[in-house]
């Protein structure tokens, strides 16, 4: 392994800082830090870049937005709403859109950046889940990621509620209904948030409160979580995809300076450019078409941003169930869709690292990721969750689907009511079978090599295809699959139960462990005289390796 030195371009600044802060050792060590090179690691960086764009564009918008529900008559450039009575919040949003130079562009950049932020967090967490990158010692960072996604949903809800247009008011009305459906404390939560009766409260407090939460409190918490997430990641180092030189104790990749720093800087500019192009050419949230909020007005095909689609869909397909007892009404038709779907997805994601560790008994440190095919149960569960989320997201547009495809609205509703239970089960079964099929293919390649396309004839006239040994790099990836840990016996030879198998929890753990390892397919290399090393013998220029100490 080669040892990197500080580049000459930074020796002067480092010496300057060291003379005053004594920090050269810190900077030298971190400038040489190695980052694995794989495209999927950029998904998390897109989320970081989007968050930076959100902070910058949000600061611009804050300078002109008036978070007030005081009534005024619009007299701006948009002639179709001139003279219409509306809140100052809506009037200022129109002013930003039509009268502030670059205001509409910044509004749309801000909204597209919010959507990209949530989409990239979702994609990043799916990558982490399917590759097992959440395993010890990274469980805490997994929970921080879930927390950021949850706060991002709340932040987005409050953000597109600020303009006080018809669409945002409809969303707030649903929010009020969800809050009031919570037993015992629902009314208090609603009155605390809205400051009185919907929509204005007693003194028009709603928009100012949402503004404070949206621009100060929640971004501050997210910024703290992002900082904690990055610090933990920096300390624990990135996980890496299985490669020939990658081991659990060795990181193989590019140094932070200059390679990774140049790549990440360019990638930030690419991300900003894409968001700017979307803001310039792709219209989003045209609030001037909706008009000010009117409790008596509704519009069809009103949809929230995609990350809130699961709540919209669950509300639309939920039957009208209510329970009345002791003079109190429990609105299950709102409470269940508001809490249960997100509870299943996020609650299940939060406990999964610890559940997997408990079932498998694997408490080792993991720095090399799994290939999704090598963990068929985990991959199947992940695809079932994605399917569950996707079905509810589609159900949020049941009116649009019914109108566009000339279907009955009731037929689409009942279709989604059935599909939300059936589709995840089918997704799990199909995904697991695909993973096992890919494992068998890997086992065949590791054992017999790859097909060469060359047909040979034996002396007795039989034809067969010649197999060539897989390359060393390919073999390293194939053999990265760990043999599933065999299930511990329930009792020893004398009939004494194992400590972990006692009681109901022991029985459940034993059954889950058996399901996890039941149809595991070992991938092993067999020496048949045609292995070959398949290695070209050269190293990638400019790469570094480092040892990880635990």
Print pLDDT tens along the chain (550 aa): 444 555 666 667 767 767 766 666 666 667 777 777 788 888 999 999 999 999 999 999 999 999 999 999 999 999 999 999 999 999 999 999 999 999 999 999 999 999 999 999 999 999 999 999 999 999 999 999 999 999 999 999 999 899 999 888 888 888 888 888 888 888 888 888 888 887 777 778 889 999 999 999 999 999 999 999 999 988 888 888 888 777 777 777 778 777 888 888 999 999 999 999 999 999 999 999 999 988 777 776 678 889 998 999 999 999 998 888 777 788 888 999 988 999 999 999 999 999 999 998 888 889 889 999 999 999 999 999 999 999 999 999 998 999 999 999 999 999 999 999 999 999 999 999 999 999 999 888 888 888 877 888 888 888 887 888 888 888 888 888 877 665 555 555 565 566 666 677 777 888 888 888 888 888 887 655 444 443 343 333 344 445 444 4
Report strand pairing: 85-87 vs 71-73. Answer: antiparallel
d(CA 167, CA 381): 35
Closest CA to 41 of 161, 158, 148, 123: 123
pTM of the model: 0.87
| Same-domain check for residues 344 and 404 | no
d(CA 220, CA 348): 27
- Evaluate whether 374 touches 481 at the Cβ level (below 8 Å): yes
| Same-domain check for residues 463 and 393 | yes
Among residues 314, 349, 384, which one ends one of the domains? 349
| Same-domain check for residues 400 and 443 | yes
How many domains is the chain partitioned into structurally? 2
Q: Which domain, by its residues, includes 314?
A: 37-349
Quick one: tokens of 150? Answer: 């949850």
| Same-domain check for residues 121 and 218 | yes
Among residues 349, 384, 413, which one ends one of the domains? 349
Q: What CATH number does residue 266 fall under? A: 1.20.810.10
Evaluate whether residue 355 is within a structural domain: no
Q: Is the four-CA dihedral 12, 14, 19, 24 of positive or negative sign?
A: negative
| Same-domain check for residues 203 and 247 | yes
**CA 131: distance to chain centroid?**
13
d(CA 114, CA 186): 29
| Same-domain check for residues 131 and 259 | yes
Quick one: tokens of 180? Answer: 């009031």
Whole-number Cα distances in Å, 195 to 9, 67, 167: 57, 15, 21
Q: What's the DSSP call for residue 213?
A: I
Evaluate whether residue 403 is within a structural domain: yes
Evaluate whether residue 30 is within a structural domain: no
Evaluate whether residue 112 is within a structural domain: yes
Q: What's the DSSP call for residue 190?
A: H
- Evaluate whether 122 touches 148 at the Cβ level (below 8 Å): no
| Same-domain check for residues 339 and 375 | no
Q: What are phi and psi of 62, to 5 degrees?
A: -60, -30
Quick one: tokens of 262? Answer: 């140049």
| Same-domain check for residues 479 and 382 | yes
Evaluate whether residue 244 is within a structural domain: yes
Evaluate whether residue 529 is within a structural domain: no
| Same-domain check for residues 249 and 383 | no
Beta bridge partners of 87: 71
Q: What's the DSSP call for residue 318?
A: S
Q: Is the four-CA dihedral 10, 11, 16, 20 of positive or negative sign?
A: positive
| Same-domain check for residues 402 and 285 | no
Evaluate whether residue 361 is within a structural domain: no
Which 3 state secondary structure label does DSSP give 485? Answer: coil
| Same-domain check for residues 226 and 264 | yes
Evaluate whether residue 322 is within a structural domain: yes
| Same-domain check for residues 307 and 440 | no
């Amino acid at each position: 392994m080669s040892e990197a030195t500080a580049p000459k371009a930074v020796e002067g600044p480092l010496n300057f800082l060291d003379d005053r802060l004594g920090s050269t050792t810190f900077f030298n060590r971190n400038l040489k830090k190695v980052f694995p090179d794989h495209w999927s690691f950029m998904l998390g960086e897109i989320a970081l870049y989007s968050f930076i764009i959100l902070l910058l564009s949000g600061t611009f918008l804050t300078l002109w937005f008036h978070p007030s529900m005081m009534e005024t008559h619009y007299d701006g450039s948009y002639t179709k709403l001139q003279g219409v009575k509306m809140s100052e919040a809506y009037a200022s949003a129109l002013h930003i859109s039509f009268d502030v130079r670059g205001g509409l562009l910044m509004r749309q950049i801000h909204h597209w950046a919010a959507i990209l932020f949530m989409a990239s967090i979702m994609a990043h967490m799916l990558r982490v889940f399917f590759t097992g990158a959440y395993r010890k010692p990274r469980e805490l960072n997994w929970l921080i990621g879930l927390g950021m996604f949850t706060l991002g949903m709340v932040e987005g809800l409050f953000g597109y509620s600020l303009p006080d247009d018809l669409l945002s008011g409809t969303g707030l009305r649903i929010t009020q209904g969800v809050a009031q459906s919570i037993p015992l404390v629902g009314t208090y939560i609603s009155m605390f948030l809205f400051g009185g009766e919907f929509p204005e409260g007693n003194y028009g407090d709603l928009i100012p409160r949402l503004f404070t939460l949206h621009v100060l409190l929640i971004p501050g918490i997210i910024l703290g979580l992002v900082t904690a997430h990055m610090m933990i990641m920096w300390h624990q180092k990135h996980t890496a995809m299985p490669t020939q030189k990658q081991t659990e104790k060795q990181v193989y990749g590019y140094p932070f300076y200059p390679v990774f720093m140049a790549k990440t800087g360019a990638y930030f500019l690419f991300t900003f450019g894409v968001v700017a192009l979307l803001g310039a050419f792709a219209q989003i949230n045209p609030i001037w078409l909706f008009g000010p909020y009117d409790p008596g007005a509704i519009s069809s095909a009103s949809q929230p941003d995609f990350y809130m689609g699961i709540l919209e869909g669950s509300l639309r397909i939920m039957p009208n169930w209510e329970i009345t007892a002791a003079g109190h009404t429990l609105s299950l038709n709102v409470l269940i869709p508001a809490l249960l779907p997100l509870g299943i997805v996020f609650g299940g994601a939060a406990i999964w690292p610890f559940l997997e560790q408990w079932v498998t008994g694997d408490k080792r440190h993991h720095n090399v990721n799994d290939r999704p095919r090598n963990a068929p149960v985990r991959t199947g569960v992940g695809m079932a969750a994605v399917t569950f989320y996707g079905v509810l997201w589609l159900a949020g547009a049941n009116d649009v689907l019914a109108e566009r495809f000339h279907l009955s609205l009731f037929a689409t509703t009942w279709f989604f009511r059935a599909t939300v239970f059936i589709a995840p089960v089918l997704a799990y079964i199909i995904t697991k079978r695909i993973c096992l099929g890919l494992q068998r293919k890997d086992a065949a390649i590791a054992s017999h090599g790859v097909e060469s396309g060359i047909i040979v004839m034996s002396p007795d006239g039989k034809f067969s295809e010649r197999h060539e040994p897989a390359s060393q790099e390919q073999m390293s990836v194939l053999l990265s699959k760990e043999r599933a840990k065999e299930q511990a016996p329930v009792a020893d030879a004398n009939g004494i139960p194992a400590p972990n198998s006692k009681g109901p929890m022991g029985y459940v753990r034993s059954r889950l462990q058996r399901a996890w390892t039941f149809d595991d397919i070992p991938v092993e290399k067999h020496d048949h005289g045609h292995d070959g090393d398949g290695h070209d013998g050269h190293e990638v220029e400019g790469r570094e390796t480092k040892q990880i100490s635990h």
